[in-house]
Amino acid sequence: MKEGVDPDDLLRAVQAYATESAGFTRSKVCFADNWFQSRRWQPFLENFEAERETAQAVQAEHHARLVGWIRDRSPMCKHITAPQVAALVAAELVSDSQLKAVGLAE
């Protein structure tokens, strides 16, 4: 934690290791002090970060597609939900005038 590790991520790493080693015998499970000291938790954190980056990339691609629909005034705009509109506005990807032009403004 002194290195800036998020406590929630560390807890998730512990839970993931517990799940991974659930069927192991005692001789195969690393004791907690050794697990922390040998930094065996670090690969779990790296996986979590990779998952977050992938999710962010997918979300950015999805937002770009929605912005394209709005910009092009596509008939697909009718499928854009209110939470999606709110996310686009919060990210400052569309303007109120663009939303009004496609009938998505409130």
Please list the pLDDT of the chain residue by residue as tens digits (106 residues).
667 788 898 899 999 999 988 888 888 888 888 888 888 899 999 999 999 999 999 999 999 999 999 999 999 999 999 999 999 999 999 999 999 999 997 6
pLDDT at 36: 87
C-alpha distances in Å from residue 5, one per residue of 13, 15, 32, 48: 11, 16, 17, 12
pTM recorded for the entire structure: 0.67
pLDDT at 54: 97
Query: What does the alpha-carbon distance between residue 25 and residue 97 come to, in Å, rounded to a whole number?
Result: 63
Q: Degrees (nearest 5) of the Cα angle 43, 45, 50?
A: 95
